[in-house]
Amino acid sequence: MTQTEPAGVSVPLAVRLLLGRAAVQVIATDVGADLLHIKGNAVDRSLRGRDAPGTDIDVMVRPTHIPRLHDALVQHGWVVYSSFVYGSPFGHAQTYRHPDWGYLDLHRMFPGIRLDPEAAFAELWRGRSEREFAGTPAAVPSVTAQALLLVLNDVRSRKAEQAMATWVDGPGLDRAEVAALVGLLDARVAFSAATGDLAQHRREPDYRLWKGITQGSTRAGEWWARARAAGTVREAAAILVRAPLANVERLTHKLGRAPTRGELVRATAMRPVRALRELLVSVGRRFRR
């Protein structure tokens, strides 16, 4: 009797992520794009002490290799879900979706690292080690670099306690080496936001940004802090110009279709209204203290 596949069978998430990483790595190797697998099931177990596969695939790519890798991903069925422009306040990653492998976050930089992205990737690449995902060789950052990225990611995700736990309790952590890498990658401000020493960096351009992330901020305050933290006047101007505009990609995902011109106008009109409402609430709280 012929065996048939039971209806509703699905691949477990942990297995799908391993296969997805392997698939992305094969594509990158084929086009000569340098990748570092980060976060989730790419993290050394000595840093977490447990399996934490995550929910998607995260990789860092050498910035100059982004165009070739993007083209190859699209050719293999990956579709852009959110772009560098709209994906996050830092513009650090572009998200893709694949019908079989799920979501992929393609990082061109890592929030909190202020060193030029190309130079930062080169430094992380220099200390890389090798792992296998579903039998496919792939590069991961050194354990020291993984520890730093975990701390920075936790603090950006407003998980300050988890960031501190990684720094204080990480069983595989060499704190002296991590501290040296923090200096090398110019990640002092963000790292200090995780370790409770942020006040020492009041004069730094990204101080208010990380203060808002860790202590809370209004929408208007966040945009202003992002502009202040920008590397150039041109980048700051682009951030401020984009601030009052609707996030087209987010609106598209919410509606399940491309928004109409009227919907874009209404969404854009609501942004300053929400910002003003948040500002009034914030001011009210200060007066009630």
pLDDT 10s digits, 83-130: 887 666 677 899 999 999 999 999 999 999 999 999 999 999 999 999
**Model pTM?**
0.82
Six-digit token string for 111: 């929030």
Residue with more model confidence, 245 or 129: 129
Domain segments of the chain: what residues? Answer: 12-199
* CA 195 to chain CA mean position, Å: 20
Calculate the average pLDDT of the chain: 81
Q: Which two tokens stand for residue 176?
A: 């002296």
Which among 88, 89, 71 has a CA at the least distance from the CA of 80? 71
Distances (CA, A) of 214 to 42, 96, 209, 286: 26, 28, 9, 18
What is the tens place of the pLDDT at every residue in 253-265? 666 766 677 666 6
12-199: which CATH topology?
A: Beta Polymerase; domain 2 (3.30.460)
| Phi, psi angles (nearest 5°) of residue 103 | -105, 145
Tokens encoding 97: 């979706």
Rounded Cα distance between 142 and 43, Å, is: 10
